[in-house]
Amino acid sequence: MKVAKSLNGQSIAIIGLGASGKAAARLAFEKGGEVYVSEMRTDKEACHGASQLRNIGIEVELGPHVEERIASAGTVVISPGIPHDTGIVRKLADNGISTISEPEFAFRFFEGPLIAVTGTNGKTTTAMLITQLLKEDGQDVALGGNVGGGMAPPASELALVENVPSWYVLELSSFQLSGVVDLKPTIGVFTNLAPDHLDRYDSVGAYYRDKGNIFVNADEQSCWVLNGGDYELASLAQDVPGERFYFSRSSAGSQAAYLDGDMVTVKLAESQSSLIGVDAIPLLGKHNVENVLAAALTAKLAGASSRSISDGIGKFSGLPHRTEKVVQHNEITWVNDSKATNVTATISGIESFDENLLVLLGGQDKGEDFSRLIESLKANNSKALVFGESGNRLHDQLKADVRVRYIPGSFEDVIEFARGWADPGDTVLLSPACPSFDMFANYQERGDYFCQLVMKFVEVTDD
């Protein structure tokens, strides 16, 4: 695909005025396009964003979408927060008007190779690890996409960087992959695959299909870094062309990253490198060992030296809200895993610990099968406190097999009860298996409040 240089004379419509929508609008404007942004919201945040874009000459309309105005554009870009079954998107599709995602739009202006990272869980940690390992090697890397939390910009901002990087690294969600046409990674990384976002998809299959769009432009030159122990992913990638490299805690083949004893090891056709011991990885959890294996293998394929990779792993400080140790007090350890917004992520969190757990579960109910948690909870001799919109259903699905209490009150009530129910030697793990939107704006706010409450209780106890 040829890199787009200019949008002179072309009309671009952007649906959505979140961070991705604003970034796409600026990119289109900088490239000479005639830009129109449509946003349903009329709140203070939307008005502020509209003002910012209008000040540089971009047309923005708040309130109900005007189908005719959007349909008249040559290219229609949809922000990832806009569901594809929403009214305006359905109407456009019914009239034969195709739409693309913001990363797809940005990719058309990338002038260097792309590492694209997707998967149900572990995407952000893996993408940020890859970036650190390549930077440790002295390579210029531009990280963006679905990273969130203010840790990296939308993809469209990367398309405006002055100097072309050695690598673009994008984390891509299923929502962003749903609008892919030309996006083609040089190296594609797929961390794992499990049911998620069933509040937005009508079936697991629909979610998997969107995830599978990372493969849509694969050819024999493509490189794929895949989880060697994930059977759902193996099925999805079965007929995808390109060269495959696997990662797994056990041996994963002749071109792979795996554990040789306790050593992170990368084996390629021409070499085998022992990189770092598991005990030296500064991240909690067995699932993070897999993230390290995926990142190390990807960095090796991108030309990084073994020394750079091992040094970079050792320096990686981890990310907030992902099996993040908050404090140990009175022989009880408190861990913030608020980013675990689906059952599979929570299973990974639970299985990362060998000690007894008190697991805090709950939040917005998006219809997942919570009985999948039982095996892991029983294996760790875990107790569970359940709360929020999903609390009743969690209690009903777990009560026959797990010691579980339902706390119907506030989040503060949940933490107060946990403080009294935890025994010395326990780890209290906030790993909710649900989104936060019933009580909080996002998982970051939930995790921050958890840390705040825990430290408040610690201070009171110490007084």
Which residue is it, tokens 């760790």? 380
Residue 398 and residue 343 in contact, taking contact as beta carbons nearer than 8 Å: no
pLDDT at 238: 96
Name the helix (H) or strand (E) containing 345.
helix 343-350
**CATH superfamily entry for domain 324-462:** Mur ligase, C-terminal domain (3.90.190.20)
Helices (H), 112-230: 123-136, 155-158, 174-177, 204-211
> How far is residue 298 from each of residues 14, 127, 141, 316, measured CA to CA in Å?
33, 10, 13, 16
Q: Cα 10 vs. chain centroid, distance in angstroms?
A: 33
pLDDT at 317: 83
Domain boundaries, the chain: 11-98, 104-315, 324-462
Residue 237 and residue 217 in contact, taking contact as beta carbons nearer than 8 Å: no
pLDDT at 136: 98
Residue 211: how many CA atoms within 13 Å on its side-chain side?
A: 28
pLDDT at 3: 65
Instruction: Supply 400's token pair.
Output: 């026959």
3-state secondary structure (DSSP) of residue 60: strand
Q: Cα 123 vs. chain centroid, distance in angstroms?
A: 4
pLDDT at 430: 98
pLDDT at 269: 85
Question: Considering only the top CATH level, what class is 104-315?
Answer: alpha beta
Domain 11-98 fold is Rossmann fold (3.40.50)
pLDDT at 380: 84
Q: Output the pTM of the full model.
A: 0.89
- CA dist 324 and 110 (Å) reads 34
pLDDT in tens, the chain (463 residues): 556 689 999 999 999 999 999 999 999 999 999 999 999 999 999 999 999 999 999 999 999 999 999 999 999 999 998 887 889 999 999 999 999 999 999 999 999 999 999 999 999 999 999 999 999 999 999 999 999 777 899 999 999 999 999 999 999 999 999 989 999 999 999 999 999 988 889 999 999 999 999 999 999 999 999 999 999 999 999 999 999 999 999 876 789 999 999 999 999 987 899 999 999 999 988 889 999 999 999 999 999 999 999 999 999 988 889 999 999 999 999 999 999 999 999 999 999 898 799 999 999 998 999 999 999 999 988 999 999 999 999 999 999 999 999 999 999 999 999 999 999 999 999 999 999 999 999 999 999 999 999 999 888 666 5
> What one-character-per-residue DSSP string does 352-402 give?
T--S-EEEEEESS-----GGGGHHHHHHTT-EEEEESTTHHHHHHHHTTTS
- CA dist 166 and 178 (Å) reads 27
